[in-house]
A and B are shown apart, each in its own frame.
Chain A
Amino acid sequence: MLEVIKPGVQMCIQDLGRHGHRHLGVSQSGAMDPMALQIANLLLDNPPNTAVLEITVGLAQLKFTTATNFALTGGDLSARLDDTPLTPGWRYFSKPDQILSFASSSEALRAYLSVEGGFSLKAALDSHSTDIQAGFGGINGSALAAGDQLHYESCIEKSSAGALQPPYHKKIRILPGPHCERLSLTTQQLLCTQQWQVSPDSNRMGMRLSGSELVTHQVSINSQAVLPGTIQLPPNGAPIVLLNDCQTTGGYPMVAQVIAADLRHFAQLSAGDSISFTLVTPAQAYQEIQRQQYHLNQLRIALTHRDRSNS
């Protein structure tokens, strides 16, 4: 069993998200960094969509009451198992009653923790992801609190294994959005000519940005589907990058869409961070998805070989 001693700023259960219910107003939710989630599961030979813990900021403590292999991925929040420092991108073994603690870091914001075999959870709308606003998924639809317990099957020790994780960037690749014409400017002019700062009122729903030159306007559009990665431009000119917990429809002009492969970088951005946007083509966007898939396949093959030769 995994017992939450201190949840820190936000700790919640996420998988690859809730799909197929957007027409009913149900958000996607899911891990902000789907790559980190899949690597965490690969390291333990779990199915790729197994639910994991998403730890935000850190300042958290967990206790493994029974033995398990676990994997830690995503940002480096200075995790320790008792006194031993851990490196993200690796799997480790915990004996009963060892304590996993997270400090925090100015460089990273979110870490992911998976256990071998996954946690025992009940799905809501075909997903284990916690939808905190709607109040379902995860455990009781809430972020985890001190005293919460997550059940898993205990298992025997595997040797430690890991690999370098793909790096995080602050240069985000985008595709043009449909409503720039109504603002008489291009995506390039609206987003790609300046640095943007992450505002403090950002969360899993969306990241608000501020910049030195804002294009204010009075254009509104008929509400239409928005997705994680859609960049909206409200009348005040400060762009909002919608993220996993975003609503399903929106009425602000959509000026760009972050390529799917780059959404993971938003998992590590905190208030005050500076980011920039660069335009790419749909062909480049597909290529990046394939590169990520290739990385995961390579890791799977390498781990299979390693685990076989060890047994």
Chain B
Amino acid sequence: MTQEQTYLLGEQAVVLDLNCARLDNEQQNRLFALHRHLQKQAGYTDIVVGKTSLTLVLQDPTQGTKWLEALLSLWHALSAEDFQPNTHKIPVIYGGEAGPDLAPLAEQLNLSQQDIVELHSSPTYQVKFLGFLPGFAYLGSVPEQLQVARLSSPRTHVPAGSVAIAEDLSAIYPSASPGGWRLLGNSITRLFDANAQSPSLFQPGDNVKFVPQKEGLC
């Protein structure tokens, strides 16, 4: 039982906070259903899904109190079945130069590199939310056996396309950036293009399946 609540963030945003450590599948998909539903409405400039929350940035700050109630009743009215995700298959070259942390991680976890590829590519991940960089999707959840902390010292340069893990999440770096996640492989899939009509391949709630390629470990 969660005690979901709504509150104002400053004078221009309204937050629905589900007030729990993590969401179950029903709650998670209901949150995405709410996101999709709100995307068809007017009156806001941005809607941002968080790990256990949704934030609406309003066009007219005087509408805040109205939205405090509206968000809660929409949350109660919607259900997980109202959300139908898209699925993306992402080819990944695992190991070697494409995934420099794969071999050391295998040693640390006392597994073979193939085991790790198998573990990482077996689940269907869900885009929990995007952030950090344009098109950077936080994908959950990594199988428990593969959950490891971030590197103690982050890399100053992680190449674009790097497929990485940290704790219970996986991600693909859409562009080169500094980063502390463990790099298992690389994908050539273009994730973000600022000049495209639909700039981000991944939308909140989408499903993602990693497909090991024969050029790397599989």
| Chain A residues near B (Cβ < 8 Å) | 19-27, 124-125, 131, 133-137, 141, 175, 177-178, 222-225, 227, 229-230, 247-249, 254, 257-260, 282, 285-286, 289
Contacts and interface: CB of A to CB of B under 8 A. Distances in A.
Interface stretch (B8-16, B109-117, B142-150, B151-159): B8-16
A175 B61 CA distance: 13
Interface stretch (B70-78, B84-92, B98-106, B127-135): B127-135
A227 B130 contact: no
A248 B131 contact: yes
B11 A125 contact: no
Contact of A177 (B9, B45, B51, B192): B9
26 contacts: A19-B45, A22-B57, A23-B35, A23-B129, A23-B130, A24-B130, A25-B130, A25-B137, A27-B134, A131-B134, A134-B133, A134-B194, A222-B22, A222-B53, A223-B131, A223-B138, A224-B52, A225-B48, A225-B55, A230-B9, A230-B10, A248-B130, A257-B9, A258-B10, A259-B10, A260-B11
Contacts of B52: 222, 224
Given A22-B48, A24-B199, 19 more contacts: A19-B46, A20-B45, A24-B135, A25-B131, A124-B195, A133-B177, A136-B195, A137-B194, A222-B51, A224-B48, A224-B51, A225-B48, A227-B12, A227-B57, A229-B10, A230-B10, A257-B10, A282-B8, A282-B61
Given A175-B10, A259-B10, A282-B8, A225 B135 contact: no
A286 B62 contact: yes
Contacts of A224: 15, 17, 48, 50-53, 55
Contacts of A26: 134, 199
Given A125-B199, A136-B194, A282-B11, A20 B64 contact: no
B133 A25 contact: yes
B139 to A, nearest CB: 13
B11 A259 contact: yes
B204 A125 contact: no
B53 A25 contact: no
Given A223-B131, A285-B11, A125 B46 contact: no
Contacts of A248: 48, 130-131
B202 to A, nearest CB: 8
Interface string B178-197: 00000000000000101100
Contacts of A177: 9
B134 A25 contact: yes
A227 B45 contact: no
Nearest to B9: A257
Given A19-B45, A25-B134, A247-B132, A223 B51 contact: yes
Contacts of A178: 7, 9, 15, 17
A136 B132 CA distance: 16
Interface of B: 7-13, 15, 17, 21-22, 35, 45-53, 55, 57, 61-62, 64, 129-138, 175, 177, 192, 194-195, 199-200, 203-204
A176 to B, nearest CB: 9
B47 to A, nearest CB: 6
A22 B46 contact: yes
A227 B10 contact: yes
Contacts of B199: 21, 24, 26, 125
- What 10 A-B pairs have minimum CB-CB distances, sorted nearest first? A257-B10, A224-B50, A225-B55, A225-B48, A249-B131, A222-B51, A136-B194, A285-B11, A25-B130, A24-B200
Contacts of A23: 35, 46-49, 129-130, 203-204
Contacts of B138: 223
Nearest to B60: A286
A141 to B, nearest CB: 8
B134 A225 contact: no
B194 A227 contact: no
A254 B133 contact: no
A134 to B, nearest CB: 5
B129 A249 contact: yes
Contacts of B130: 23-25, 248
A67 B122 CA distance: 64
A249 B9 contact: no
A153 to B, nearest CB: 25
Contacts of B175: 134-135
A254 B8 CA distance: 12
